[in-house]
């Protein structure tokens, strides 16, 4: 088994959906066949024509040419809930794979979830899989008698959601992480938090858990790179996973803002590393960031530490405020960016032809266990 972690190439880790993807599942509408303009024109038509059958969900990090077709925009959980509430037959999920899986777990039986490009994964979600987690769990079982509660960030494969469902654990989002972690500590003495070490560390620290009571389990190392003593002393075992987009923001970026634009509020997502969230003025989930900026008085200046498509959209939506990326580089989620109008058009054409493609189906056993964990989260938050 290849234990290498990958940040930019999500095919490196063993993940079920990528392995199953066949090129003929990914019909391409080439530029030679159709210009960008013609793609958008045909999409306009099909979007209007199939409106009764298809709901288009657009994650905040999608590019504008996709967001223009979205019936609803939001974060992953909000969108999955919208999908379920909709009466439409097809759920076109413009986001990444784990989000479409969550929608498939929550959807009604008569609905079908479609991901326009099956290669739109999430590099962070790919940093943990069922095999790694089973291995880590068995090491922890051998090393500690304490009750360990597994908590997975919603940015994870359905099989990991099923794992926590089967092991008295729970799922969290960046909006409800604090509440969920509090619940988990009421059930046990230690947490195994995966796959995002930063969300786990930032949230636990905010709740008063010192950094020296957190250790990092690295699945590429023997026994995660830990000793039984370290696990014994720790309250939180964090998985060595991270978002390559949010990890792109650094303390240096904040220092530069402080030096050159001291009037600016630095607002960041909790997937950023500890130094960044700790030194920012405010940190919170995507929805928190949007809300915070919306409610700020005109004239406020923000340096935002999150995905660039959202930052640029906020800048356009609130022209009375100054909004720009915390990083001088474009922190773009390249896997979200895989959802392009030509892929959307290909999936629309297939629906119209009566043979939908790029369907996301979570197997029934996984779905049952994952649903336990999702419903547990919804009941707590
Ligand atoms: S922004 Fe980060 S966590 Fe979100 S989908 Fe992209 S890689 Fe995954």
Quote the domain boundaries for residue 105: 16-121+338-362
Confidence of residue 28 (pLDDT cuts 50, 70, 90): low
> Which whole number is the average pLDDT over 63-72?
96
Same domain, 295 and 355: no
- Output the CA 293–ligand 1 centroid distance in Å: 21
40: Cβ–Cβ under 8 A, 6 or more apart, which residues? 65, 341
Same domain, 186 and 251: no
- Give 34: exposed, middle or buried? Use CB within 10 Å, 0-12, 13-18, 19+: middle
Q: In this structure, is residue 2 part of a structural domain?
A: no
Of 215, 243, 271, the one marking the end of a domain is 243
Mutate to test the pocket of ligand 1, among 336, 337, 339 (most ligand atoms within 8 A of CB): 336
Residue 200's H or E segment, with its range, is helix 197-206
Mean pLDDT for the chain overall: 92
Same domain, 129 and 219: yes
Which atom of ligand 1 approaches the CA of 96 most closely? Answer: 5
Which atom of ligand 1 approaches the CA of 125 most closely? Answer: 8
| Residues in the ligand 1 pocket, defined by CB under 6 Å | 61, 96, 122-124, 155, 243-245, 307, 333, 335-336
Same domain, 208 and 279: no
Which atom of ligand 1 approaches the CA of 271 most closely? Answer: 3
**CA dist list (Å): 169 to 6, 25, 239, 379:** 26, 35, 15, 13
Residue nearest to atom 1 of ligand 1 (CA): 333
Which atom of ligand 1 approaches the CA of 243 most closely? Answer: 2
Of 185, 216, 243, the one marking the end of a domain is 243
Q: In this structure, is residue 369 part of a structural domain?
A: no
- Output the CA 233–ligand 1 centroid distance in Å: 31
- Output the CA 307–ligand 1 centroid distance in Å: 8
Which percentage of the chain shows pLDDT scores above 90?
87
- Give 319: exposed, middle or buried? Use CB within 10 Å, 0-12, 13-18, 19+: exposed
**CA dist list (Å): 73 to 43, 94, 375:** 18, 9, 22
Q: In this structure, is residue 72 part of a structural domain?
A: yes
Same domain, 213 and 106: no
> Which whole number is the average pLDDT over 7-12?
31
Same domain, 52 and 26: yes
Least confident stretch, 204-208, 213-217, 329-333:
329-333
Give the model's pLDDT for residue 375: 94
Mutate to test the pocket of ligand 1, among 60, 244, 309 (most ligand atoms within 8 A of CB): 244
> Which whole number is the average pLDDT over 170-188?
97
Residue nearest to atom 8 of ligand 1 (CA): 122
Whichever domain contains 52, its CATH number is 3.40.50.10800
Same domain, 25 and 89: yes
Confidence of residue 248 (pLDDT cuts 50, 70, 90): very high
Structure tokens at 327: 């990083």
Least confident stretch, 73-87, 173-187, 313-327, 351-365:
73-87
* Tens digit of each residue's pLDDT (9 = 90 or more) over 153-168: 999 999 999 999 999 9
* Tens digit of each residue's pLDDT (9 = 90 or more) over 336-361: 999 999 999 999 999 999 999 999 99
Would the pLDDT of 15 be above 70?
A: no
Q: In this structure, is residue 111 part of a structural domain?
A: yes
- Output the CA 222–ligand 1 centroid distance in Å: 27
Same domain, 344 and 289: no
Confidence of residue 99 (pLDDT cuts 50, 70, 90): very high
Q: In this structure, is residue 40 part of a structural domain?
A: yes
Same domain, 231 and 256: no
* Extended strands (E) in the chain: 54-59, 72-74, 90-94, 112-114, 148-153, 170-172, 190-194, 214-217, 236-239, 265-268, 282-283, 301-305, 322-325
Mutate to test the pocket of ligand 1, among 155, 248, 306, 325 (most ligand atoms within 8 A of CB): 155
Same domain, 38 and 50: yes
377: Cβ–Cβ under 8 A, 6 or more apart, which residues? 170, 171, 172, 173, 176, 180
Which atom of ligand 1 approaches the CA of 246 most closely? Answer: 2
- Output the CA 225–ligand 1 centroid distance in Å: 25
* Tens digit of each residue's pLDDT (9 = 90 or more) over 45-60: 999 999 999 999 999 9
- Output the CA 58–ligand 1 centroid distance in Å: 14
Give the model's pLDDT for residue 57: 97
- Residue 95: is the preceding peptide bond cis (ω within 30°)? no
Q: In this structure, is residue 368 part of a structural domain?
A: no
Question: Coil, strand, or helix at residue 305?
Answer: strand
Give the model's pLDDT for residue 232: 97
Q: In this structure, is residue 135 part of a structural domain?
A: yes
Number of domains observed in the structure of the chain? 3
Q: In this structure, is residue 8 part of a structural domain?
A: no
> Which whole number is the average pLDDT over 363-377?
97
Residue nearest to atom 6 of ligand 1 (CA): 333
Give the model's pLDDT for residue 27: 57
Same domain, 73 and 171: no
Quick one: three-class SS letters along 202-223? Answer: HHHHHCCCCHHHEEEECCCCHH
Inter-residue long-range contacts of 317-326, CB under 8 Å, 24+ positions, other chains counted: 318/293, 318/294, 321/293, 321/296, 322/264, 323/293, 326/249, 326/253, 326/254, 326/257, 326/266, 326/268
Of 177, 211, 243, the one marking the end of a domain is 243
Mutate to test the pocket of ligand 1, among 117, 269, 335 (most ligand atoms within 8 A of CB): 335
Same domain, 275 and 185: no
Inter-axis angle of helices 364-380 and 97-106, nearest 10: 90
Exposure class string for 229-240: b at 16+ Cβ within 10 A, else e: ebbeebbbbbbb
356: Cβ–Cβ under 8 A, 6 or more apart, which residues? 90, 112, 114, 347, 350
- Output the CA 141–ligand 1 centroid distance in Å: 31
């Amino acid at each position: 088994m290849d234990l290498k972690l990958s940040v930019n190439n999500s095919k490196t880790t063993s993940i079920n959906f990528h392995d199953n993807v066949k090129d003929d599942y990914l019909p391409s509408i080439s530029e030679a066949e159709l210009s960008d303009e013609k793609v958008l024109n045909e999409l306009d038509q099909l979007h209007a024509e199939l409106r009764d059958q298809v709901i288009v969900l657009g994650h905040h990090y999608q590019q504008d040419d996709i967001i223009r077709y979205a019936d609803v925009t939001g974060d992953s959980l909000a969108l999955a809930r919208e999908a379920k509430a909709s009466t439409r037959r097809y759920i076109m999920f413009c986001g990444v794979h784990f989000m479409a899986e969550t929608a498939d777990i929550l959807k009604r039986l008569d609905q079908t979830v479609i991901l326009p490009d099956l290669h739109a994964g999430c590099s962070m979600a790919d940093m943990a899989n069922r095999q790694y987690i089973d291995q880590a769990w068995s090491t922890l079982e051998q090393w500690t008698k304490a009750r360990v509660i597994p908590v997975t960030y919603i940015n994870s494969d359905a099989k990991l959601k099923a794992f926590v469902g089967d092991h008295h654990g729970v799922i969290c989002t960046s909006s409800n992480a604090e509440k969920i972690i509090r619940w988990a500590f009421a059930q046990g003495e230690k947490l195994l938090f995966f796959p995002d070490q930063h969300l786990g560390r930032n949230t636990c620290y905010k709740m008063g858990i010192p950094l020296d009571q957190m250790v990092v389990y690295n699945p590429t190392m023997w026994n995660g790179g830990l000793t039984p003593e370290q696990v014994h002393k720790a309250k939180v075992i964090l998985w060595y996973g991270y978002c390559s987009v949010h990890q792109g923001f650094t303390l240096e970026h904040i220092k530069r803002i402080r030096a050159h634009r001291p009037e600016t509020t630095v607002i960041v997502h909790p997937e950023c590393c500890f130094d960044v969230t700790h030194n920012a003025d405010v940190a919170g989930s995507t929805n928190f960031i949007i809300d915070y900026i919306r409610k700020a008085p005109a004239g406020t200046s923000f340096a935002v530490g999150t995905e660039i498509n959202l930052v640029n959209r906020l800048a356009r939506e609130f022209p009375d405020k100054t909004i720009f990326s915390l990083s001088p580089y474009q922190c773009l989620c390249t896997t979200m960016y895989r959802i392009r109008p030509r892929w959307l058009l290909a999936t629309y054409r297939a629906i119209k032809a009566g043979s939908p493609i790029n369907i996301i189906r979570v197997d029934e056993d996984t779905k049952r266990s994952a649903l336990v964990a999702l419903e547990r989260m919804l009941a707590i938050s």
